[in-house]
Amino acid sequence: MGKYFGTDGFRGEANVDLTVEHAYKVGRYLGWYYGRNHKAKIVIGKDTRRSSYMFEYALVSGLTASGADAYLLHVTTTPSVSYIVRTDGFDCGIMISASHNPFYDNGLKVIDSKGQKLNAEVENAIEKYIDGLMDEIPFAVKENIGRTVDYSMGRNRYIGYLMSIPTRAFKDLKVGLDCANGSASSIAKAVFDALGAKTYVINNEPDGTNINTNCGSTHIEALQSFVTANALDVGFAYDGDADRCLAVDEFGRLVDGDLILYVCGKELKQRGELNNNKIVTTIMSNIGLYKALDEIGIGYAKTQVGDKYVYENMVEENNVIGGEQSGHIIFSKHATTGDGILTSLKIVETMIENKKTLAQLTEPVKIYPQLLINVRVKDKKVVLDDPDVAQAVEDVAKALEGDGRALVRPSGTEPVIRVMVEAPTDELCHEHVLKVVNKIKEKGYAVD
C-alpha cells in the first residue's frame, strides 16, 4: 500500500488529505503517461459530493495541460466508468468518489484500459511525482494542449447496457431502491422502470452534502422500514458510487453480500454457468455461507478484503462470480468491478426465474453472528507482528473449536486494526472479541 493510494484509490478528507493540488498532479501525470506515444483519451466520472466538481476541474486542468483530452461523464457510477473505458477505447478512466464515506471525504479511483483498477507500479510513480521525486513533466503547447469533451452519451450507453442484461421482464414486481443520494440517483430508477418494475425510490435527491447520510448501504435500516411499510417485494440499497449493493427481503431483513453470493452462485450452477463450480469470497465471508455452499456442492476461494483481490482471483482462475460481504459483487461476464445496480438486476432475475421470494432463496443459509470492533492504533504493522496479539487470536480460535473464528486485519485506508469474531451466539462473539481487543490495548498500541 502506498503513501496516498490505498486498496480503493486515493482517498481522504477533501482539501485536507486529498487536495486540488493532488488532483491536478494526478491529472498531469496520467495525461503525460498515457500520452507518450499518442494523444491520450481519458474519461472522468464523479459522484454527487460538493467537492467532486472541484476535483473534476482540477483533474481536467492537469490532463489537458499534459496534452490529454478529457471526456466528462458527469455524475455517474464507478462501474459505468469501468464499462465505458473498456468499450470505448479510452486509455484510462478516473472516478471521483469516496464510495460509502461521508460527504466531506472524496477520492480518486483510477481505472485502466481493461476496466480494472490501476496497477501498483503506476500508482507508485504518481506518488513520486506528487512528492517531487521525479523530473517535472513538460507542458503541452500550441495544438498539443488537450481539450474537454462532454461525454454524457457514455452514461446513457451504460444505462442501455444494464437494460439489455436481464432475460425476463420485471412486470408488476414492487421494488424499492435506496440511492444513497449518490451516483445511483441518476441511473437506477430509469433501469428498473424500463424493465417493467413498479419502482419506489428513496434518497435520490442529492444536494452535495447528503450522500450516504443516514441512507444507502451503510444505513440499511431506512430501506428496511421502507420495504415493510410499503409491502414491497424486495429492496436494494447502493453506496455513494453504486459499486456495491445490499438487499432487503420482503420481511425487511438484510440480505448482505454473502447471501447474495449464495443466491446468485446457486443460480449460475443451476444454469451450468458456474465455471470451476466455485465462487470467490474474501476472508470476511461468514462461516454460514461456507456451510451452505458445502451442502449444495459449490466450492469457494478466499482472498484478501478488497474487490480488486477478488477480481484478480477471478481472472487468474476464470471464475465468474465473486464478491464481498459488504456488497461488492462481480459478475465477470458483464463487468470487471463491483456493480450495485447490476447485482440488483441479477437478484430480481433469479427471483423471477425460480418463482421464489428473496426470503425463500436465502433460507438455506444460517448466518453466524459476527462482531467487528475497530481499534485505532499508532502502528498497524507492530500490532500485527506482536506474538501476544497473535496468541490471543489463536486462543479464541481454539475456544471456538471450528465453530467460529477470530480475524485481525489492518484497514486499507485508516490507522485502524479491525478485530472480528464469528461465533454461534452474540454473547460468545462479544466475549471473545474483547479478549483480542483488550490485549491490543493492554500492550499500549491503541490510541484514543
Residue 214: pLDDT band by 50, 70, 90 thresholds? very high
pLDDT digits (tens, 9 = 90+) for 4-31: 998 789 999 999 999 999 999 999 999 9
Q: Nine-digit cell at 391?
A: 496468541
pLDDT digits (tens, 9 = 90+) for 46-65: 999 999 999 999 999 999 99
Asked if residue 385 and residue 263 are part of one domain, the reply reads: no
Residue 3: pLDDT band by 50, 70, 90 thresholds? confident
Q: What is the average pLDDT across 342-356?
A: 98
Q: Nine-digit cell at 414?
A: 485508516
Beta bridge partner(s), residue 391? none
Asked if residue 29 and residue 87 are part of one domain, the reply reads: yes
φ, ψ dihedrals at 140, nearest 5°: -75, 145
Q: What is the pLDDT of residue 306?
A: 85
pLDDT above 80 (res 314): yes
Q: What is the pLDDT of residue 401?
A: 84
Could you give the 3-state DSSP secondary structure of residue 15?
coil
Q: How many domains are contained in the chain?
A: 3
CB 173 within 8 A of CB 197: yes
Query: Exactly one of 52, 97, 99, 186 is catalytic; which is it?
Result: 99
Asked if residue 211 and residue 143 are part of one domain, the reply reads: no
pLDDT digits (tens, 9 = 90+) for 90-123: 999 999 999 999 999 999 999 999 998 888 899 9
Beta bridge partner(s), residue 72? 44, 150
Residue 155 CB coordination number (10 Å):
23
Asked if residue 336 and residue 290 are part of one domain, the reply reads: yes
Residue 9 CB coordination number (10 Å):
26
Last residue of a domain, one of 308, 335, 362: 362
pLDDT above 80 (res 405): yes
447 within some domain: no
Asked if residue 381 and residue 263 are part of one domain, the reply reads: no
Residue 300: pLDDT band by 50, 70, 90 thresholds? very high
State which H helix or E strand residue 41 sits in. Answer: strand 41-46
Asked if residue 357 and residue 376 are part of one domain, the reply reads: no
Angle at 337 between CA 354 and CA 303, to 5 degrees: 90
Contacting residues for 426 by C-beta, under 8 A, at least 6 apart = 369, 371
Instruction: State how far the Cα of 275 lies from the Cα of 291, in Å rounded to an integer.
Output: 20
448 within some domain: no
Instruction: State how far the Cα of 312 lies from the Cα of 319, in Å rounded to an integer.
Output: 10
Asked if residue 194 and residue 267 are part of one domain, the reply reads: yes
66 within some domain: yes
CATH for 152: 3.40.120.10
- Residue 8 assigned to a binding site: no
Residue 421 buriedness (CB in 10 A; 0-12 / 13-18 / 19+):
buried
Residue 15 buriedness (CB in 10 A; 0-12 / 13-18 / 19+):
middle
Q: Nine-digit cell at 296?
A: 449444495
Instruction: State how far the Cα of 394 lies from the Cα of 439, in Å rounded to an integer.
Output: 12
Q: Give percent above pLDDT 70 in the chain.
A: 100
Respond yes or no: is residue 225 known to be catalytic.
Answer: no
Could you give the 3-state DSSP secondary structure of residue 422?
strand
CA–centroid distance for 287 within its chain: 22
44 within some domain: yes
Asked if residue 229 and residue 357 are part of one domain, the reply reads: yes
Q: What is the average pLDDT across 149-176?
A: 96
Which DSSP state fits 416?
A: E
Asked if residue 208 and residue 306 are part of one domain, the reply reads: yes
220 within some domain: yes
CB 350 within 8 A of CB 166: no
Q: What is the pLDDT of residue 414?
A: 80
Q: What is the pLDDT of residue 126?
A: 97
- Residue 243 assigned to a binding site: yes
- Residue 239 assigned to a binding site: yes
Q: What is the reported pTM?
A: 0.91
26 within some domain: yes
Can you give the residue range of the structural domain that contains 405?
370-442
Beta bridge partner(s), residue 21? none
Instruction: State how far the Cα of 292 lies from the Cα of 229, in Å rounded to an integer.
Output: 31
pLDDT above 60 (res 190): yes
Mean predicted lDDT score pLDDT of the chain: 96
Q: What is the average pLDDT across 134-139?
A: 94
Last residue of a domain, one of 326, 344, 362: 362
Last residue of a domain, one of 156, 190, 211: 156
Residue 412: pLDDT band by 50, 70, 90 thresholds? confident
Q: Which stretches does DSSP call E strand in 129-266?
A: 148-150, 174-178, 198-202, 234-238, 245-248, 254-255
Asked if residue 374 and residue 358 are part of one domain, the reply reads: no
Residue 1: pLDDT band by 50, 70, 90 thresholds? low
pLDDT digits (tens, 9 = 90+) for 222-237: 999 999 999 999 999 9
Query: Positive or negative, the Cα torsion across 329, 335, 337, 341?
Result: negative
Asked if residue 258 and residue 132 are part of one domain, the reply reads: no
